[in-house]
Each structure stands twice: as structure tokens, then as C-alpha cells.
């Protein structure tokens, strides 16, 4: 079986293998005695969890894990895993780095096409199988339901949280919570992929090259957050950033400005514990509680 | 890069004074060309192909050099505050954002040089999660182009890369990665030619590559002699100055001549049995960027414990990462120099294998590793490197501190940490 790490992976290609087990999961409310020996503090907590599982043999049933280069945590983890396997420190599945190039120049798009083709060849996926899977996944993409909670909605943006624990804090305050968790982001097959192009690898590469959700995307994050706010019908927003975030946090000022320009009240929470073990619940309750009905 | 907090670095080489004087004059000349004469120029990261700009005679301001310059003017604390005032969290990476902060401050009355005019382009390789966001916003603030360069996946892992990188660079750095960087450099040249009207001369470029090989050859020769010499003839501070200043000007007549003079002075000191310290008992390795705000740190334990820092990455890097057999393909050779410049210093297996080999080559007794709290790239690979060194019998001390932010740095405390560590390990 094959698993993945990161948001921007070639979902349709992996699914076309018939052996895709989906993205790896994490369990962060525990200690990481093995991983803490090898990882430095600025790695995201999910990296510690995955490496801990890898080292303890919990992932041994997998044959391969595809890690994206679109996330610095994931790509560094790949190099660590390879070296630790070389040194015999860990066993486990074969780590494979999927190259993601998102610069808006022809050279990067061409590299992305080659990366998809190389992985397809490695996994034995034909163009026909990829095209079939693209069609099937597109049906799934088109039918992803939009949340209609009925309550007042608060958008949770910034660093994707590990699970719905921050959402639960919003819900505890009597609001509906919108915004993807990291687990949801990693499971999302992304936007529609062109069908019937005659070159499904290139079509998939174009989808990844133009990706808008990952840390390496060049998308305008101010525009994106307003799109999310509108799609959710949100009346308030929380920009929540984890301590280890080195990418999305650079767009905090522009996202805040963009939301405030729409008249949306914003609570900013930075340098947060990804486990939510800080005063976020109190701050969220106070913020949402103060907003007029 | 706050104001210096520690003691000054002792300088003993004539070359060091010459390098510093040249750099000071160069700074004035750069300001004249860029600010006074309004020539086209570029803001670039240190790990980008400076050679292209040198060939086209387009002045460059290296982001790291500009940050150091801002720091020397004691403006960094103010600019860190500017970042906070603009809504960026305090823990955002400081290493690459000081220049951006200076632009955001938009205060010509106090900025170095009155602030930078609009550059032709900003160039950065995307080696971490933050740099594209910093440079993208910096370019927007300066109303100019940002030319990002990919840092592609590197699957061809040759742990002892440093033994083959000069000649077998195709295999070491992976042909498709080299080809990709060549294509990007061709795009960059096209952009520069279009925006500046200056032309890229292939013959001039080939000659520059040969001159860089000559320059780095002198540095490497000096380093090999230095590694064998007891005592170590040159402090790491002076190793850095005499390697890095010419490297900013690599391939120029001055840089080649300076590298040669430096080699000669090193060899002369070895012949005379002169040491950087008077009482060398322990040879230490410094892993990480230099602690720019406390250069005296490195010499603080020489007198009391005879503990001398003899190794930092800057000088020995000249051999394996700069010298390239050109093979009639200078652009490919250049790509092989640049396309992994950061990776080999921060990712396993390249980092740990090289450091372990260097510790053996240089007779290292113990290593001190800098672990900056807010910078994943700079932290990266350090624990696995420490493990490799310890397995090779080299004790390692990890120091949680930042190379550019002196806020959490206490000179006496840090010196005490190293001293306690050496005593604990029975080395002092």
C-alpha cells in the first residue's frame, strides 16, 4: 500500500494505483521519545508524530510513502527518513519525494510534468488508468458538499489545525466553524483536473503547478481568505497560526487587511500551540461573545 | 543582527585588514553606482548565481550582506519592531527579512544609504518555506520583479559528495536538477537583458568561471594546509573574512589576488609556527552561521582553556562547493555549484557526512552547534549531524541561540556553557 504526506500530491495518480491508502495521520497528544532525538524544534508537531510512528514500526505495513516537496516539513522529513534508513536507525516503507514546482514560469511547469510522469512510471500507472481516475475523481470533486450550518459562522484560517479541536472552541461559543483542518486539506483531491486532453500527466501537473493551498503557492492569500469567507458565509474570522508556521504567517497582515476591508471582525492568534493547549479557547470565547448578535 | 553584545574579534593577518578595507571601499562604490548614479542593480540571496550579474556588470546587493550592513548601523532592533508594527509575529524568520523591514520602514532619513532605490529584480532560491513569501512581498513593496528559482528534489544521494563534486558534478548534483537550473538561469539572463539593455557575454563568463576556480583553489590550498597545521594559524573569524569578502566578488582580479595573498600569508604563518592562539590545547568546530553580534565569542576560551575554534564552514566549503571542472560547459558547471549550495549545509546525508569527515580531517576535539529557535532551515540536519559526530567520537554541544538576533544572547553565559561542556567531557 502507498500513503502520502502533504497537501499537494498527485491524488489521481496515487488513486489510480489501486493501492492508495490516503494520507498519513498523526496523534500529537503524546510524547515522541524517538523522534525528539532526531528532529529540531521548528518542525511541525505532525512531523514528530509521523517519525515516531515510522521508528516504532507502526507504518511497516506500507510499501511506500510519497512526501510532497510543496511543504518544507515534508520535504525535510524525506531526507531525514532516507538517511536514517541508510544508517539503519529505522526501517519502514520506502520514502519517495514528489517534486512540486509552482513558480509561474514554463521551466517549473515542465518540471512538474516530468515529476508526474516519473512517479507514474515508478508506480506502473498508464495514461489510460490515470485518465480514468481523473474522470472518477472529478465526479467526487464536483459533489463535495458545501457546509450550510444555519448558525452564525466563523471562518478559521491561517495555519490549518491538526483536527477540529480549534473548531470545537468556536462551536463552544455558539457559532458554526468553517475552515479546513490539515487532515482535511491532505485528503482533498484539489480542484478539477482537465479531462480528455490526451496527456493526463500534463493535466495533473497543471493542477499541481497552479495549486493554491500549499505553503509554496504564489496565490494571493488576501484574495483567497475573502473567497473562503464568502463561500462559508462567515460573519467573523479567526486567523490562527501555529508556533512552527514559517510560510502562511507571512500573509497575516494581508489577510487581516482583506477581511477587515470586508467589514469582518478578525481575531488574530499567533505563535499558538498546535495542540491547542494554551488560552485560545478563552480568547475565542471572549472574541465571539463580544460580537453583536 | 542587533548591536554587537560581546567582545571584538582579534585580527592578526595583514590580509584581513586589506579585505575589510576593500569591502568598505566597495560599499561606497556600490552606493555611488546604485543610489547616486541610479544604475540598474539586483537584490539577491547569497545562494543564487552571482556570476551572471558579475558578467553583465550589474551591481548586486546580497540580502545577507545588506542585513549585516543594517546591523552594523545598529538599526536591526528598530526594524524588527517595524515588522511587528506591520502585523508580523515576533517569531517570523529574521535571517532573511531585515532588508524587507528596512523597505517597510520607509524612512529615508534614517535608513542606510537613505534606503535602496527600486532594483531591477529580486532573486532567491526557494530553499525554505518562508523566503518566497518575504521576497514576493519585498518585490511588491519596491514595485519590481521577483525572480524565484526552484530548489528541486534531490534523489541522487552521494554521502561523500565532497570527494567527487569537483569533477563528477553531473552525477553528484543530478543531471535533471542541473539542467533545470541552467534553464532558469537562461530565463534570468533574458529578463536582465530586457530590463537593463546589458548583454551576457559567454566568453567573459567562461573566463570568469576559470578565475573563480583559481581563486577558490588558493583558498582550498590554504585550508588544507591549515587543517594539518598545529597550532591553527588563523582564527575562524579571519578565515571567514578572507574567504567571504573575496567570495562576494568572486572571479574579479582583486578577489583572485586576495585569495592568493591569503594563501601565502597562511603558509607563511605555518612555516613560522604561528598560531591564532598562543596556547592551543583543544580544537573546536563551529557548526552554523557565524554569531555576527558577538565575534569575540570564538576567542573567549583560548586563554583560559586553550580551546580554539579552528573550523567553521565558510573556508572549507570553497573546495567542494565552488571549484568545478568546467568540461566545456560553464553554465552547467555553474548550475552544479549553485543548485545545492544550501542543501549540502542543511540536509542529511550531505551535511552530516561532510561535517564528520571535516572533523576528522581537521583533528577536531569537540563541536559546538548553533540551533536558532525560529528558523527551521538553519536548525535543519543539526541533530543528525550531532549524532554522526558523536558516533565518530566528537562530543557535541548544541546552543539555542540566533545568529542575527542578540536578544537572547549573553556573552558570559554562552562562554560559560562551552567551558562547562568541555570540562564535563573531560577535555578541559
Q: What is the mean pLDDT of the segment spanning A217-229?
A: 96
Render pLDDT for A124-155 as a digit per residue (tens, 0 to 9): 999 999 999 999 999 999 876 655 557 899 99
Does the beta-carbon distance from A107 to B180 stay under 8 Å? yes
Q: Is A104 on the interface with B (CB under 8 A)?
A: no
Read off the pLDDT band of B302 (50, 70, 90).
confident
Same domain, A177 and A93: no
Same domain, A130 and A168: no
Render pLDDT for B358-397 as a digit per residue (tens, 0 to 9): 999 999 999 999 988 888 998 999 999 999 999 999 999 9
Same domain, A124 and A197: no
Q: Is A213 on the interface with B (CB under 8 A)?
A: no
Render pLDDT for B84-97 as a digit per residue (tens, 0 to 9): 999 998 877 777 89
- The mean predicted confidence, pLDDT, of chain B is 93
Does the beta-carbon distance from A251 to B87 stay under 8 Å? no
Does the beta-carbon distance from B150 to A103 stay under 8 Å? yes
Read off the pLDDT band of B119 (50, 70, 90).
very high
Same domain, A179 and A229: yes
Return the HEC string of A198-219. Answer: CCHHHHHHHHHHCCCCCCCCCC
Render pLDDT for B257-267 as a digit per residue (tens, 0 to 9): 999 999 999 99
First-residue to last-residue Cα distance in chain B: 32
Q: Which residues 231-270 on chain A approach chain B with CB closer than 8 angstroms? A: 241, 243-244, 246-247, 249-254, 256, 268, 270
When CB atoms are compared, the residue of B126, B128, B150 closest to A246 is B128
Q: What is the mean pLDDT of the segment spanning B161-188?
A: 98
First-residue to last-residue Cα distance in chain A: 50
Same domain, A27 and A125: yes
Same domain, A50 and A118: yes
- Is residue B1 pLDDT above 50, yes or no? no
Same domain, A98 and A175: no
DSSP result, B231-274: S-SS-HHHHHHHHHHHHHTTTSHHHHHHHHHHHHHHHHHHHTT-
Read off the pLDDT band of B68 (50, 70, 90).
confident
Same domain, A121 and A155: no
Residues of chain A with Cβ-Cβ distance to B137 below 8 Å are 250, 254
Output the nine-digit C-alpha cell for B422.
568541555
Please report, for the domain that includes residue A168, its CATH number: 3.40.50.11900
Percent of chain A with pLDDT over 90: 96
When CB atoms are compared, the residue of A38, A216, A249 closest to B383 is A38
Determine phi and psi for A109, rounding to 5 degrees: -65, -45
**Nearest CA-CA distance, residue A250 and chain B, Å:** 6
Of A140, A175, A199, the position where a domain reaches its end is A140
Residues of chain A with Cβ-Cβ distance to B184 below 8 Å are 105, 107
Read off the pLDDT band of B9 (50, 70, 90).
low
CA gap A91, A106 in Å, rounded? 38
Number of independent structural domains in chain A: 2
Which of B93, B131, B140, B153 has the highest number of chain A CBs within 10 A, making it the mutation to test binding with A? Answer: B153
- Is residue A236 pLDDT above 80, yes or no? yes
Of A111, A140, A169, the position where a domain reaches its end is A140
- Is residue B65 pLDDT above 60, yes or no? yes
Please report, for the domain that includes residue A98, its CATH number: 3.40.50.11890
pLDDT at B409: 82
Residues of chain B with Cβ-Cβ distance to A270 below 8 Å are 89, 91
Say how many CB pairs under 8 Å bridge A and B: 118
Same domain, A248 and A169: yes
- Is residue B3 pLDDT above 90, yes or no? no
Percent of chain B with pLDDT over 70: 96
* Domain enclosing residue A117, as ranges: 2-140
Residue with cell 545568529: B403
When CB atoms are compared, the residue of B129, B183, B347 closest to A79 is B347
Residues of chain A with Cβ-Cβ distance to B157 below 8 Å are 82-83, 86
Of A140, A174, A209, the position where a domain reaches its end is A140
Q: Is A74 left (phi over 0), alpha (psi -120 to 50) or beta?
A: alpha
Q: CA angle A284-A287-A289, nearest 5°?
A: 100
B385 contacts B397 by C-beta, under 8 angstroms:
no
Same domain, A167 and A259: yes
How do the domains of chain B map onto residue ranges?
Answer: 14-424
Output the nine-digit C-alpha cell for A136.
472518477
CA gap B58, B33 in Å, rounded? 10
Render pLDDT for A260-271 as a digit per residue (tens, 0 to 9): 999 999 999 999
- The mean predicted confidence, pLDDT, of chain A is 95
Rounded to two decimals, the ipTM of the complex is 0.95
- Is residue A121 pLDDT above 60, yes or no? yes
When CB atoms are compared, the residue of A40, A218, A271 closest to B383 is A40
Determine phi and psi for A67, rounding to 5 degrees: -105, 140
When CB atoms are compared, the residue of B152, B352, B376 closest to A42 is B376
Does the beta-carbon distance from A251 to B128 stay under 8 Å? no
- Is residue B417 pLDDT above 70, yes or no? yes
Q: What is the mean pLDDT of the segment spanning B64-84?
A: 87
Same domain, A169 and A276: yes
Does the beta-carbon distance from A105 to B184 stay under 8 Å? yes
Output the nine-digit C-alpha cell for B106.
520607509
CA gap A261, A258 in Å, rounded? 5
Does the beta-carbon distance from A37 to B129 stay under 8 Å? no
Same domain, A131 and A29: yes
- Is residue B76 pLDDT above 60, yes or no? yes
Q: What is the mean pLDDT of the segment spanning B203-214?
A: 98
Amino acid at each position: 500500500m502507498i500513503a502520502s504526506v502533504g497537501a499537494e500530491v498527485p491524488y489521481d495518480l496515487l488513486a489510480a494505483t489501486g493501492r492508495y491508502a490516503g494520507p498519513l495521520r498523526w496523534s500529537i497528544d503524546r510524547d515522541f521519545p524517538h523522534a525528539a532525538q532526531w528532529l529540531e524544534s521548528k518542525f511541525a508537531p505532525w512531523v514528530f508524530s509521523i517519525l515516531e510512528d515510522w521508528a516504532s514500526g507502526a507504518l511497516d505495513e506500507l510499501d511506500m510513502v510519497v512526501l510532497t516537496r510543496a511543504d518544507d516539513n515534508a520535504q525535510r522529513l524525506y531526507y531525514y527518513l532516507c538517511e536514517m534508513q541508510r544508517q539503519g536507525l529505522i526501517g519502514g516503507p520506502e520514502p519517495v519525494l514528489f517534486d512540486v514546482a509552482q513558480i509561474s514560469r514554463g521551466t517549473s511547469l515542465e518540471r512538474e510534468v516530468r515529476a508526474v510522469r516519473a512517479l507514474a512510471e515508478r508506480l506502473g500507472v498508464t495514461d489510460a488508468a490515470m485518465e480514468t481516475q481523473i474522470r472518477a475523481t472529478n465526479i467526487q470533486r464536483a459533489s463535495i458538499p458545501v457546509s450550510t450550518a444555519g448558525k452564525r459562522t466563523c471562518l478559521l484560517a491561517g495555519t490549518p489545525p491538526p483536527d477540529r479541536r480549534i473548531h470545537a472552541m468556536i462551536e463552544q461559543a455558539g457559532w458554526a466553524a468553517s475552515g479546513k483542518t490539515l487532515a482535511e486539506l491532505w485528503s482533498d483531491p484539489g480542484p478539477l483536473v482537465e479531462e480528455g486532453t490526451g496527456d493526463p500527466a500534463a493535466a495533473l501537473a497543471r493542477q499541481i503547478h497552479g495549486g493554491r493551498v500549499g505553503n509554496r503557492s504564489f496565490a494571493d492569500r488576501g484574495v483567497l481568505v475573502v473567497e473562503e469567507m464568502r463561500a462559508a458565509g462567515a460573519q467573523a474570522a479567526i486567523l490562527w497560526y501555529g508556533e512552527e508556521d514559517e510560510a502562511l504567517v507571512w500573509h497575516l497582515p494581508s489577510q487581516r487587511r482583506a477581511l477587515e476591508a470586508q467589514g469582518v471582525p478578525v481575531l488574530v492568534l499567533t505563535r499558538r500551540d498546535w495542540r491547542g493547549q494554551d488560552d485560545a479557547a478563552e480568547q475565542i470565547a471572549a472574541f465571539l461573545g463580544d460580537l453583536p448578535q | 543582527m542587533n548591536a554587537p553584545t560581546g567582545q571584538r574579534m582579534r585580527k592578526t593577518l595583514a590580509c584581513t585588514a586589506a579585505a575589510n578595507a576593500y569591502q568598505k571601499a566597495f560599499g561606497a562604490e556600490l552606493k555611488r553606482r546604485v543610489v547616486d548614479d541610479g544604475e540598474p542593480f539586483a537584490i539577491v540571496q547569497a545562494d543564487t548565481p552571482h556570476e551572471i550579474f558579475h558578467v553583465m556588470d550589474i551591481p548586486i546587493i546580497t540580502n545577507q550582506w545588506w542585513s549585516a550592513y543594517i546591523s552594523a548601523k545598529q538599526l536591526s532592533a528598530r526594524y524588527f519592531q517595524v515588522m511587528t508594527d506591520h502585523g508580523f509575529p515576533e517569531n517570523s524568520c529574521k535571517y532573511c527579512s531585515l532588508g524587507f523591514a528596512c523597505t517597510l520602514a520607509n524612512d529615508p532619513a534614517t535608513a542606510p544609504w537613505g534606503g535602496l532605490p527600486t532594483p531591477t529584480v529580486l532573486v532567491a532560491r526557494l530553499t525554505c518555506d518562508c523566503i518566497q513569501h518575504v521576497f514576493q512581498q519585498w518585490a511588491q513593496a519596491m514595485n519590481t520583479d521577483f525572480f524565484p528559482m526552484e530548489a528541486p528534489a534531490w534523489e541522487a544521494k552521494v554521502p561523500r559528495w565532497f570527494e567527487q563534486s569537483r569533477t563528477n558534478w553531473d552525477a553528484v548534483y543530478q543531471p535533471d536538477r542541473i539542467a533545470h537550473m541552467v534553464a532558469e538561469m537562461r530565463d534570468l539572463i533574458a529578463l536582465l537583458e530586457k530590463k537593463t539593455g546589458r548583454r551576457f557575454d559567454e566568453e567573459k563568463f567562461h573566463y570568469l568561471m576559470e578565475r573563480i576556480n583559481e581563486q577558490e583553489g588558493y583558498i582550498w590550498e590554504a585550508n588544507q594546509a591549515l587543517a594539518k597545521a598545529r597550532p591553527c594559524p588563523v582564527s575562524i573569524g579571519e578565515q571567514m573574512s578572507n574567504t567571504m569578502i573575496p567570495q562576494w566578488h568572486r572571479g574579479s582580479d582583486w578577489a583572485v589576488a586576495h585569495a592568493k595573498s591569503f594563501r601565502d600569508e597562511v603558509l607563511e604563518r605555518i612555516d613560522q609556527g604561528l598560531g591564532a592562539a598562543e596556547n592551543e590545547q583543544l580544537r573546536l568546530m563551529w557548526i552554523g552561521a557565524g554569531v555576527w553580534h558577538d565575534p569575540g565569542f570564538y576567542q573567549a576560551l583560548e586563554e583560559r582553556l586553550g580551546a580554539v575554534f579552528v573550523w567553521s564552514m565558510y573556508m572549507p566549503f570553497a573546495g567542494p562547493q565552488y571549484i568545478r571542472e568546467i568540461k566545456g560547459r560553464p553554465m552547467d558547471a555553474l548550475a552544479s555549484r549553485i543548485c545545492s549550495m544550501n542543501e549540502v549545509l542543511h540536509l542529511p546525508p550531505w551535511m552530516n557526512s561532510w561535517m564528520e569527515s571535516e572533523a576528522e580531517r581537521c583533528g577536531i576535539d569537540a563541536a559546538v552547534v548553533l540551533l536558532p529557535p525560529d528558523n527551521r532551515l538553519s536548525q535543519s540536519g543539526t541533530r543528525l549531524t550531532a549524532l554522526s559526530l558523536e558516533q565518530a567520537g566528537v562530543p557535541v554541544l548544541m546552543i539555542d541561540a540566533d545568529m542575527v538576533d542578540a536578544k537572547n544572547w549573553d556573552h558570559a553565559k554562552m562562554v560559560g556553557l562551552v567551558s562547562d561542556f568541555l570540562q564535563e567531557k573531560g577535555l578541559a
